[in-house]
């Protein structure tokens, strides 16, 4: 049985969700290649999906993916107490979003369990918290993971709303089932 600690409840969980999001983007590419929106070419369809949102005052799909990646890399870096890599927010295509996910996954692979295990009581601050802080555990469980999954779920919902053929198994990914 795998040990439960601050690392195992954060980094591998976010890696799995980002891998699922990457596969979901493959379905967007496949759909864009076979179906056009309003009889326009695939790039128009892809762009329409990337700019789509659930409601007018919510970020579009492309931003949801960016923010999910930023949450993963920023959260892991804060818990490991290492520098957060900076990514430009300049993606305009599904391929570029996939590259951002890959960069994020590559960074997450550099975070080792020993860098995060035992960091439950470190002070974590964010610029918009007005000088206040949380503990590492509170940050992970009450901010990082809920915020990360909010953006992953919203990205999924935007695609479902637009007819991308996705199911729960696309979101959850494979399960480590045992006999």
Q: What is the pLDDT of residues 110-148, one digit of tens each?
A: 999 999 999 999 999 999 999 999 999 999 999 999 999
Q: Is residue 97 part of a domain?
A: yes
Q: Is 6 inside any structural domain?
A: no
Q: How many domains are contained in the chain?
A: 1
Contacts of residue 169, Cβ cutoff 8 Å, sequence gap at least 6: none
What is the structure's pLDDT at 67? Answer: 98
CATH number at residue 158: 1.20.120.450
Decide if 156 is inside a domain. Answer: yes
Q: pTM value?
A: 0.92
Residue 83: how many CB atoms within 10 A of its CB?
Answer: 7
- 3 falls within a domain: no
Is 40 a member of any domain? Answer: yes
Is the residue at 9 inside a domain?
A: no
Has residue 8 been placed in a domain? no
In a domain? residue 125: yes
* Structural domain of 109: 15-165
If DSSP codes are grouped into helix, strand and coil, which group holds residue 134? strand
Read off the pLDDT of residues 35-67 as tens digits, 9 standing for 90 and up. Answer: 655 555 556 678 889 999 999 999 999 999 999
């Amino acid at each position: 049985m795998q040990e439960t600690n601050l690392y195992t409840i954060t980094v591998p969980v976010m890696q799995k969700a980002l891998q699922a999001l990457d596969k979901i983007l493959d379905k967007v590419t496949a759909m864009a290649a076979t179906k056009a929106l309003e009889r326009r070419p695939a790039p128009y369809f892809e762009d329409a999906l990337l700019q789509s949102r659930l409601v007018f005052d919510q970020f579009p799909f492309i931003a949801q993916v960016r923010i999910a990646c930023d949450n993963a890399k920023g959260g892991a870096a804060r818990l490991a107490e290492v520098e957060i890599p900076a990514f430009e927010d300049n993606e305009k295509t599904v391929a570029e979003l996939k590259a951002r996910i890959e960069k994020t996954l590559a960074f997450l692979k550099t975070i080792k369990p020993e860098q995060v295990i035992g960091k439950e009581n470190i002070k974590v601050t964010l610029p918009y918290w007005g000088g206040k802080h949380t503990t590492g555990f509170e940050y992970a469980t009450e901010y990082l993971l809920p915020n990360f999954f909010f953006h992953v779920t919203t990205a999924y919902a935007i695609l479902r709303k637009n007819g991308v053929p996705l199911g729960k198994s696309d979101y959850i990914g494979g399960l480590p089932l045992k006999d």
